[in-house]
Amino acid sequence: MRPRSRRLLQLGALTLLGALAIGLGFSLWHRPAAGRIDLAGKPLVVRQGLEPRDPQFGDTVVATIDVLADRSRVDAESIKLGMGFRAHTVVSTTRSVRTIGGVSVIHVETRLRCLDQPCVPAGKDLKFEFDPARVAYRDGSRTRMIVSRWPALRIHSRLTKADLARPALRVPPPIVESVRYRLPPPATAYALLVLGGLLAAAGFGVLLAVGLRGAAPKRRRVAPLERVLSEVAASCSNGDSGRRRRALEELARQLEPLDAPLSEESRVLAWGPAEPHGEAISDLASRVRTAVRA
């Protein structure tokens, strides 16, 4: 190699190295700070997305929304999200909050599915739009709201041209299963018959017992005065003065409408200072029976 060609080659290599060094320095100088998000001076930024944008009928659509808020101006606790998905049903929702530098990032992911008539394409596809998302937050002492629109969905039909040309109802063949019983029918029928007979016999026995009870002779009711005289006679034999006095007082009450003198005599005998003796009580009871019979 000639000396001149060697010098040119060395000069080109040095020039290339210098250009690489300048490019590396420039990229390092303008590299964005790690862990920082540029909000372009705004207190809050909303980013939305749908995946997929062109689903087929019945497919699950994932709606994501990211709310980026400047922590120095917006309190993350004050951020309220309002989202409506019309005919779509919310299958699940996940929400996460993290901080990157001075920015609060709220990430909400919602899985949607629609199997209703509003989502059925009348032709090849159907354009579907959700209601705008509303994000309310406090910026200092003021409450603000951002209304952000979702991208449109284009729902594709699952029907092919052949399906549309020859519509047919696809019904699977019926599955016939053998009839099963937990208990054998003949044995169950006989057992129920026997049980019914026993219940009928028991009912007949109850009716017979009630009928015989109604036909039994009724007890003779004891007159109140006779009952009191029996109590007076019993009190004479047990030696209990208190019982005697109570029995004589009850006798006096029963005699008031029948014989006033005997009633007064019974009350004096009951509550006199001396203890009522058995002989006086027996004599009074004998005279009461004579007066009542007369």
Q: What is the DSSP string of 82-115?
A: E---TT-EEEEEEEEEEEETTEEEEEEEEEEE--
Identify the pLDDT of residue 239.
61
Identify the pLDDT of residue 30.
46
Number of Cβ within 10 Å of residue 254's Cβ equals 20
Domain parsing of the chain, residue ranges: 44-160, 224-293
Identify the pLDDT of residue 34.
43
CA distance linking residue 127 with residue 121, whole number of Å? 8
Identify the pLDDT of residue 175.
81
- Sequence-distant (≥ 6) Cβ neighbours of residue 133 within 8 angstroms: 46, 48, 65, 81, 82, 83, 147, 148, 149, 150
Helix (H) / strand (E) element for 64: namely strand 61-70
Q: In this structure, is the dihedral angle defined by the CA atoms of residues 24, 28, 31 and 35, taken in order, positive or negative?
A: positive
Identify the pLDDT of residue 217.
52
Model pTM score: 0.45
Class of domain 44-160 as given by CATH: mainly beta
Segments of the chain scoring below 50 in pLDDT = 28-34, 216, 220, 222
- Token pair recorded at residue 116: 């209703």
